[in-house]
Chain A
Amino acid sequence: MMLIRSSSGPGSGNGPALPELHRRLKWIALVMAIAFIVLIGRLWQLQVMRGDGYYERTVSNVVKERYLPSVRGKILDRNGVPLADNRPAFNVYATPRSFKPAVRDELARMLGLSDDEIEKIDERIKAATKRDPKQPVLILEDQGRDRAALVEQSLSRLDGVEVHHEPYRYYPQGDLAAHLVGYMTQMTANEVDKRVSQGYSPDELVGRYGLEAAWENYLRGKKGVERYAVDAKGQRLDDKTAQTLIQGERVIGAVPGANLVLTIDAELQRVAEKAVARVPASAVVIVEVKTGKVRALVSKPSFDPNVMTGHLTRAEETMLLSDPRKPFIDKALRATYPPGSVFKFATALAALEDGQGAEDESMYCTGVYQLARTTFRCNGAHGKVDLIKAIKHSCNVYFWELAQRVGLDRIAEVARSFGFGTPTNLGLNGDSGGRVPTKAWYEQRGTYKVGYATNASTGQGDVEVTVLQTAMAYATLANGGTLYVPQVVERVESSDGRTIVSYEPKVSHEVRIPPDALDVWRRGMWKVTNELGGTAFEHGHTEVVTVMGKTGTAESRTRNRKQQDDLRDVEGYHPARSHAWFAGWAPAEDPELAIVVLVEHGGSGGRVAWPIAKQILEAYFRPKEDAR
């Protein structure tokens, strides 16, 4: 203002031309000062105080990152047969900002997309628009070579669409060991944020079931990053320009995931799955007696992980979810069942150990057992039976009597020492603990009745076990008392075949069993499968290998009728029927494999479960020359 005043003096000599201006100069000064102070203050705030933050923002405006997918680790059986592998696939990506509805319609018309697929595209675009409308998002995965070529030829008409050549998960054995291997899916909207913070890209597939889920961190590897520069329209700038804008590495290569080598024997698994193909719902577990390594793990009905991984249509999904046999529940280690007579070993061992029973003690079975005012019915009138015969014929009366002598808690104690009642620690698919009730357990829930021990002694009532637990318990019986933690992963290898981690058999604990008591039980088991009148022998005998086993026919609680009306009927599946069990091992002389077969609502264990076990064991032990 000094400038103005100093020179305002002489002017024309007639006094100021505009006296009002001279009077109001201070107002001009005030308004101008305020205006310029506000502008400079704002500049100071933006450029000096917050400048660093805005600088970062402008860098992120220009520099974009694209994930370079890592090749997921393979899942191999013990002999190197791939159960999960990768193949090249063509994935279609779209940048939400330029992917207009017209482009979508053009794409849909070109590829003949179903409404289902179009809806899925819309969902993905919507979600991605919220995250970052300039970041390309996967809209169609695993398009065939022909469809990819079709899209690539018309890219000029399809604004914002890209086709990338990427590895895609596939399962060469189809539904073999599906529950074990598992499958992968896109992440749900809820988990995206968490996963992204762990370094996933939002449209990546994640392991959702089985080993794919449980061993995700080993399998996924480490993705690479490619950084590139774009202009405001999202157009990629040339490499030379990019180089000046991007500090540091422009491409960080991906690290492939580790391979899992399983203890599973794909061949044996296939044999087992073939053997159970004739029943609607079943589970088979085969473990190595001396190591606890799982050689086959079957749960049926199952699913094809190739279909589950990204291709499942809504109709198929509804179909699978409404199946009364619950294909998504792993029947080998998640579902629990009453064990029936295969559980009798606990009662027998408890009685023999306590001196409450003896091998040569005989009882008379009339087919009926009276306790208090309740009448229990045996599966037949067996007449005069000793303990061995009771095992062979699966006479309930004999075990009911033993149960009255030793009591519920002793039976529970022995069962628990064999691993029932606690999860086996396989660490897969929500491995269940099952239930071994005790007196205290009943008292907690109401009153204890003597009949509960009667029920439990033959694996009924409130006893619930998993097929895997039963297999581990029978392996323990076979090896003389070592309870293993089941093992399904033999070792982890790097992608070039170097062993990263190798897992040794792990003993849970040694079970204290008096040798003579065990011997009695084993002799009973031998007769079941090898002597006229044995519950299994009646339904077949094998000359290939000497099998020892125990059948079980466990009554299931009839399901709630109302609940069942919602589910569709499956031929040959009768929810009111008993569960059929067979548990045993082979060869009898030097036990190698323990096998447990469960046929859900299959009926008699000897008639239904045993032939399946026999078929599997025959196929395995038959000398290879004969097989050809």
Chain B
Amino acid sequence: MRGTGLQLPRATIGVSRWRRFRAAIDWPLILTILVLCTVGLFNLYSATRGLRQQVKFDTQCKWMIVGVIAFTVTTVIDYKAMVRLAWLGLAIAVGLVILARLQGATGGNQRHGETYRWLFVGPIGGQPSELVKVMMILVLARMFQDTEVGRYTPRALLLRLAGVGIPIVLIAIQPDLGTASLITLMVLSVAFLSLPNVWPVVHVTIAGLAAIPLLWETMHEYQKNRIFGFIDCDANDPAIAATANCWHTTQSIFAVGSGKLTGKGYLEGTQNQFNFVPEHWTDFPYSVWAEEWGFVGSVFLLAVFAFLLIWILNIALSARDRVGAVICLGVAAMTFWHVVVNVAMVLGIAPVVGVTLPFISYGGSSLLIFFIAMGFVANVSLRKHGY
């Protein structure tokens, strides 16, 4: 029972391996992902139709196939083996982040503006900071695997804090405050739920909040504008609403609001079809969905995400061991914060930051890491009866 190979439940004699495997598969999880992917593809088709962006639909389909393969691989390999290599994985991810920065600095990457988030290998590009999120989940599982309360000494905690803090700082100075904040939220959430004693988490959180004024000073002007810009966007004053900062938020609010109760109908959203919300296929797909499907559709999509989160927590509760439970918590936290921040941003109650909507947003990196993360969960689910 040394952690390799499949651990199949009820290894009853006379039942084929295939049937036993099928019985162990977490169908609700897979069905939920399937629903989200279907919604995502339908929505992407509408979002990119007629904008000479249809190629994105095909690209997304290809990435989904890659995602399914990644899901299968991360389901099959025992998570304990993966957790053992967590720190190495994180180190590689951080290395890629630095490489992306260097690639950007040498002018090799002009495709995505002035930020250095993208790493290119030939024609394929990806955001290594997304990979950091996944590795962080494994690292957290490794950090919190000890059951004994005595292991969590202040010195040990400080070391671990440094271990997760460095990648976050590196991403923050990329600059990608959105991803950095998101990873911070993930880490704090998981720590809060996994540490025997929550007070260290509370202290770190308070210290972090106290440091915000200091951070503020070091921020770029456009970042400051983004954070406060959306508050001033009075939708009734066309002059302010027309500024670049407000344009996104204002038009997104118009799109969502104009959906009313039942929406304008699939492919009928004018804000979407005529491109009033820029780049709506990446960070604002929810505005497209809300415009075309209305309040009913919007709440439905949120409900699907809520079910997904509850199901992941469910698996965490029934996990075989502490490592598996923490992995599930990490995935749940990542999904939760992605959904909440992205939807809040679309609804104009959070600043515009580059946080995607899981399985709905267009983009290979985002899709891939969520498939991998869900693979972890399926992995834990598969092995819950292992002992």
Contacts and interface: CB of A to CB of B under 8 A. Distances in A.
A11 B290 contact: no
B233 to A, nearest CB: 13
Nearest to A22: B317
B202 interface: no
A21 interface: yes
A24 B384 contact: no
B314 A17 contact: no
B274 A62 contact: yes
A36 B344 CA distance: 10
A36 B306 contact: yes
Interface stretch (B162-170, B187-195, B218-226): B187-195
A61 interface: yes
Interface in B284-340: 290-291, 294-295, 298-299, 302, 306, 309-311, 313-314, 316-322, 324-326, 329, 336, 340
A186 interface: no
A48 interface: yes
B261 A48 contact: yes
Nearest to B235: A57
Given A39-B347, A47-B256, A32 B306 contact: yes
Interface string A228-271: 01111100010000000100000000000000000000000000
Given A32-B336, A39-B344, A47 B290 contact: yes
Contacts of B324: 17
Contacts of B298: 43, 47
Nearest to B343: A39
Nearest to B307: A3
Nearest to B270: A62
B257 A17 contact: no
Given A20-B195, A21-B194, A51-B257, A28 B313 contact: yes
B255 interface: yes
Contacts of B355: none
Contacts of B310: 1, 3-4
Contacts of A43: 256, 290, 295, 298-299, 302, 347
A35 interface: yes
A506 interface: no
A54 B310 CA distance: 34
A36 B302 contact: yes
For B256, B311, B387, the residue with the greatest tally of chain A CB atoms inside 10 Å of its CB is: B256
A16 interface: yes
B258 interface: yes
A22 B317 CA distance: 7
Contact of A133 (B198, B235, B242): B242
B313 A54 contact: no
B83 to A, nearest CB: 14
A20 B254 contact: no
Interface in A1-32: 1, 3-4, 7-8, 10-14, 16-18, 20-22, 24-25, 27-28, 32
Contacts of B385: 12
Contact of B261 (A13, A16, A47, A54): A47
Contact of B347 (A14, A42, A229): A42
A61 B253 CA distance: 13
A33 B204 CA distance: 25
Contact of A58 (B271, B319, B329): B271
Contact of B318 (A8, A53, A61): A8
For A8, A16, A20, A130, the residue with the greatest tally of chain B CB atoms inside 10 Å of its CB is: A20
For A4, A8, A24, A39, the residue with the greatest tally of chain B CB atoms inside 10 Å of its CB is: A39
B208 interface: no
Band of interface residues on A:
35 or more
A40 interface: yes
B125 interface: no
B108 interface: no
B95 interface: no
B314 A7 contact: yes
A8 B258 CA distance: 42
A245 B270 contact: yes
Contact of A17 (B193, B276, B319): B319
A191 to B, nearest CB: 20
Contact of B276 (A21, A47, A232): A232
Nearest to A62: B270
Contacts of B290: 43, 47
Contact of A11 (B259, B311, B317, B326): B317
Nearest to A230: B274
Contact of B253 (A54, A130, A232): A54
A11 B328 CA distance: 15
Given A3-B310, A4-B314, A43-B295, A54 B302 contact: no
B3 interface: no
B195 A46 contact: no
Interface string A421-457: 0000000000000000000000000000000000000
Contacts of B207: none
B282 interface: no
For A11, A44, A130, A230, the residue with the greatest tally of chain B CB atoms inside 10 Å of its CB is: A11
Contacts of B274: 61-62, 229-232, 237
How would you classify the secondary structure of chain A's contact residues: helix, strand, loop or mixed?
helix
B260 A55 contact: yes
A100 interface: no
Given A32-B306, A57-B254, A21 B318 contact: no
Interface string B268-285: 001100111010000000
A46 B318 contact: no
A38 B302 CA distance: 12
B302 A40 contact: yes
Contacts of A58: 254-255, 258, 270-271, 276, 291
A50 B347 contact: no
A59 interface: yes
A21 B317 contact: yes
Contact of B302 (A13, A28, A39, A231): A39
Interface string B371-387: 00000000000001101
A359 B173 CA distance: 110
A14 B298 CA distance: 41
Contacts of B336: 32, 35
A123 interface: no
Given A14-B387, A35-B340, A8 B314 contact: yes
A51 B257 CA distance: 5
A193 interface: no
A516 interface: no
A17 B271 CA distance: 49
A21 B329 contact: yes
Contact of A46 (B313, B314, B321, B347): B347
A231 to B, nearest CB: 4
A317 interface: no
B334 to A, nearest CB: 14
B194 A18 contact: yes
Given A17-B319, A21-B329, A55-B260, A47 B295 contact: yes
Nearest to B333: A28
25 contacts: A1-B310, A3-B310, A3-B314, A8-B314, A18-B326, A18-B329, A20-B194, A21-B194, A39-B340, A40-B299, A42-B349, A43-B295, A43-B347, A46-B256, A47-B261, A47-B290, A50-B257, A51-B260, A54-B253, A54-B254, A57-B257, A58-B271, A59-B270, A62-B270, A232-B274
Interface of A: 1, 3-4, 7-8, 10-14, 16-18, 20-22, 24-25, 27-28, 32, 35-36, 38-40, 42-44, 46-48, 50-55, 57-59, 61-62, 130, 132-133, 229-233, 237, 245
Given A35-B340, A39-B340, A51-B259, 17 more contacts: A3-B311, A7-B317, A8-B318, A10-B318, A11-B317, A20-B193, A20-B194, A24-B198, A27-B192, A32-B336, A35-B336, A42-B344, A43-B295, A48-B295, A54-B254, A55-B258, A132-B238
List the 10 closest A-B pairs by CB distance, nearest first.
Answer: A54-B257, A51-B260, A18-B325, A231-B274, A8-B317, A58-B258, A46-B257, A47-B295, A55-B258, A232-B275
